[in-house]
Structure 1
Amino acid sequence: MNGMWVDKHRPKSLDQLDFHANLSQHLKMLSASGDVPHMLFHGPSGAGKKTRCMAFLRELYGPSADRLKIDHQVIKPTPSKTVEISTLSSNFHIEINPSDVGIDDYHVVRMILKEIARTPLVDTSKHPFKTVVIVEADRLTRKSQQALRRIMESYVSNCRYILICNSSTKILAPIRSRCLQMRVGAPTMSEMCAVLHGVAKKEAVTVPDELCQQIVKESRRNLRRALLMLEASRAQIQATSLPVDLPIVRADWEVYLRETAERIVTEQSAARLLEVRGRFYELLTHCIPADLILKTLMEELVRHLDTDLKVQIVQLAAEYEHRLQSGRKEIFHLEAFTAKFMALYKGFLDLLGDV
């Protein structure tokens, strides 16, 4: 079986999950009881929320949950507007990410999710309800969340919703109150090292403890990122007798953003802003999310700042992250953040020069 390690060695059942045994036990009890409420999986990126959710669906629906098909849906909310979105579904559940269409997610919720919810299952002898998995639920606009709340109330008899998000605070309180909240925290360093050693052993690669700890630290306890780093370092590990001294291999887009931050700090001008705009387009066309670009760029910029300016830049990034959720053109907000940073940083340097 070929493929990336992070997918190839993804646990398929609740029993195979390596950490948060109490959550796995709770999910098994819910599955056995058949009394499944709406659920909200939340926690940091790379903690295993989606993996745990899919393992729960296999526990609930059996092998049928793995017989998946991709559907491309096209809706026309108005004669002049067309919205396209892809869904992944089995006979008993459907997975959808309405935020893929940006601020048009309201039409996806109002038309597609409502139609799914009110269409009952053909065979209800084993399972009286279907399940809708909404990925990146915290990216839904407020309007679409309000529509989702009404659908959850109206069609609870034949449809359950599982929401997956990083931050539950971005979910409306009425939705949170209707869901069983499952906090999936980041694994500990020892748990992550155990997973990395287990995957390396299956791939016949020997990884020293020191290197595992370096990867865990660099990944910031994001297991998905740690596995990608481990796989990227595989060739170097096998080619050297001193793998501990190897630099951790970072993702190309992270290296690209680090270079972008260095260029921004080196020169603040209209020409440099235009150059950075082109680099943003390069990242966006390679499907790097705009909010991830903004967050990573902020972290790289802060590394070059004194304490007095760090707080302002973090607040500025939070403001433009909020604007990203409300606008259509992501490039505008990324460029505006960069321009504002350049103005603040240049003013700070001028002030230091006067002193």
Structure 2
Amino acid sequence: MAFFQLHAPKEPAKHTIDPALQPWVEKYRPKTIDDVSAQEHTVAVLRRTLTSTNLPHMLFYGPPGTGKTSTILALARQLFGPDNFRSRVLELNASDERGISIVREKIKDFARQTPRAQAASSDDKTYPCPPYKIIILDEADSMTQDAQAALRRIMENYVRITRFCLVCNYVTRIIEPLASRCSKFRFKPLDNASTSARLAAIASAENIHIPDSVIDTLINTSHGDLRRSITYLQSASRLANSTDPPAPITSADIQEIAGVVPDEAVQNFAAALGIEGDTMDVDGTTDRRKGFDQIQRKVKEIVREGYSAAQLLTQLHDLIIEHPTLTARQKAQSALALAEADKALCDGADEELQILEVALLVNKAVTS
């Protein structure tokens, strides 16, 4: 008789991530506050808290992708070390957990617990490990008014053992009693030099070659959002490596990934409207019927390409406003047409009709 011994399957190791599959946003997230880019004032103030360990409640606000969450996470790691981080830091995204029940249960339960004694560090590093915990509320401007009102009492009652860090994009959406209890830190959009240096460092670490023109395109399409530009770079790298041999990364690839209209398409569309070149006849008159037919064909061509109408109008607006030869009156009339179309698109208007109307009004403004 044969006997079979059954073995329980081995459980895979927890929290192990293949670096090749890890998003670069997480892979290259700052490990210390000194790694945070372009936020010199905030970093200088927080660096002093590492020596005094006297941390107030904090309110980080500013545009997306400027390093708010990365900064507080890096500060917490430097304060508590890897062994105490999980027991001393509670991170919640208020976009998902923003009701008053979460404040009364999850946040209050964590805030009222007295911190445990410092654990022995496994890597022989010395961390301040002050006698309090940190609660990080990301996207705090999404919390309801009732939840914010309930939170202020918790911040007062447990201030001795718990510090709060509210992270938000719009500081005006934080109620005044809550904001007044926090030290405010404004995170400004990253300047081009800091973004360029960070992207170049990531590209070098990943052994990919990107010319300066591609970095400029990444900066222009991300509008100061470093997280977005890193994501675009990773997507472009995977796209380039999907061929054999790997193809070079181009500005057109970045624009395709970012969902913006290619510069060439915008310039050709602008030329059809008379912004680049002359639509006037020799005698100084304009053939309106001929112009309408040309513009209508160009609009249909743009629509068939599947470009977003809102994105196209945004880029056309930038081109018109920055144009060196258009007069202020022509720019104002064009901007008014673009604004009315943007409102109509938000109300659900037909994209092709709105593009056509804007094209005709802009053509009239620049040729009159």
Asked if these proteins are the same fold (TM beyond 0.5), I'd say yes
Q: Which residue, out of 25, 35, 38, partners 1:19?
A: 38
Shift of 1:182: 1.2
| 2:55/2:163 contact within 8 Å kept | yes
Name the counterpart of 1:82. none
Matched, 1:100 2:96: yes
Matched, 1:117 2:111: yes
* Alpha-carbon distance between aligned partners in 1 of 2:51 and 2:344, rounded to the nearest angstrom: 48
* Alpha-carbon distance between aligned partners in 1 of 2:166 and 2:232, rounded to the nearest angstrom: 28
Name the counterpart of 2:143. 140
| 1:229/1:249 contact within 8 Å kept | no
Q: CA RMSD in A?
A: 3.5
| 2:115/2:131 contact within 8 Å kept | yes
| 2:213/2:251 contact within 8 Å kept | no
| 2:62/2:169 contact within 8 Å kept | yes
What letter corresponds to residue 34 of structure 2 in structure 1?
D
| 1:98/1:109 contact within 8 Å kept | no
* Alpha-carbon distance between aligned partners in 1 of 2:42 and 2:110, rounded to the nearest angstrom: 28
Q: 1:180-259 maps to which residues of 2 (within 5 A)?
A: 180-234=183-237, 235-236=239-240, 239-240=246-247, 243-244=249-250, 246-251=252-257, 254=259
* Alpha-carbon distance between aligned partners in 1 of 2:84 and 2:336, rounded to the nearest angstrom: 53
What letter corresponds to residue 4 of structure 1 in structure 2?
P
Question: Would you tell me which structure has more helix in proportion to its own residues?
Answer: 1
* Alpha-carbon distance between aligned partners in 2 of 1:315 and 1:162, rounded to the nearest angstrom: 37
Shift of 1:197: 0.6
After TM superposition, the score normalised by the length of structure 2 is 0.63
Name the counterpart of 1:43. 62
After TM superposition, the score normalised by the length of structure 1 is 0.65
Matched, 1:33 2:52: yes
Q: Which residue, out of 116, 126, 130, partners 1:127?
A: 130
| 1:39/1:162 contact within 8 Å kept | yes
What letter corresponds to residue 189 of structure 2 in structure 1?
A
| 2:95/2:143 contact within 8 Å kept | yes
Name the counterpart of 1:84. none
Give the SS at the match of 2:135.
strand
Name the counterpart of 1:275. none
* Alpha-carbon distance between aligned partners in 1 of 2:170 and 2:214, rounded to the nearest angstrom: 31
Matched, 1:308 2:308: no
Q: Structure 2: where are the runs of 5+ without partners?
A: 1-18, 120-128, 261-298, 301-307, 318-333, 362-368
**Which structure 1 residue ranges, 4+ long, deviate > 4 Å from structure 2?**
249-252, 296-306, 309-317
Name the counterpart of 1:178. 181
* Alpha-carbon distance between aligned partners in 2 of 1:307 and 1:220, rounded to the nearest angstrom: 21
Q: State the structure with more CA Rg.
A: 2
Q: Which residue, out of 27, 49, 71, partners 1:52?
A: 71
Among all aligned residue pairs of Structure 1 and Structure 2, give the percentage whose two residues are the same amino acid.
29
* Alpha-carbon distance between aligned partners in 2 of 1:65 and 1:188, rounded to the nearest angstrom: 35
Q: Deviations over 1:241-266 (max 9, x none)?
A: 6x4554315558x57xxxxxxxxx99
* Alpha-carbon distance between aligned partners in 2 of 1:214 and 1:229, rounded to the nearest angstrom: 10
| 1:229/1:250 contact within 8 Å kept | no
Shift of 1:233: 1.6
Matched, 1:159 2:162: yes
Task: Please identify, of 201-210 and 18-27, the stretch whose mean Cα deviation from structure 2 is larger.
Answer: 18-27
Task: Please identify, of 137-146 and 302-311, the stretch whose mean Cα deviation from structure 2 is larger.
Answer: 302-311
Q: Deviations over 1:100-159 (max 9, x none)?
A: 146xx1211122212222222233795321111001001111121111112212221221
* Alpha-carbon distance between aligned partners in 2 of 1:297 and 1:224, rounded to the nearest angstrom: 25
Name the counterpart of 1:282. none
Count residues in correspondence. 267
Question: Would you tell me which structure has more strand in proportion to its own residues?
Answer: 1
| 1:302/1:313 contact within 8 Å kept | no
| 2:137/2:166 contact within 8 Å kept | yes
What letter corresponds to residue 91 of structure 2 in structure 1?
E
Provide closer, same or farther for how the CA distance between residues 299 and 171 of structure 1 changes in structure 2, counting only shifts above 3 A. farther
Q: Deviations over 1:179-234 (max 9, x none)?
A: 11111112111111111110011111111111101111111111111111111222
What letter corresponds to residue 100 of structure 1 in structure 2?
D
Shift of 1:64: 2.9
| 2:135/2:165 contact within 8 Å kept | yes
Q: Deviations over 1:317-344 (max 9, x none)?
A: 9xxxxxxxxxxxxxxxxxxx544x569x
Provide closer, same or farther for how the CA distance between residues 27 and 144 of structure 1 changes in structure 2, counting only shifts above 3 A. same
* Alpha-carbon distance between aligned partners in 2 of 1:201 and 1:91, rounded to the nearest angstrom: 36
What letter corresponds to residue 308 of structure 1 in structure 2?
L
| 1:233/1:249 contact within 8 Å kept | no
What letter corresponds to residue 171 of structure 1 in structure 2?
I
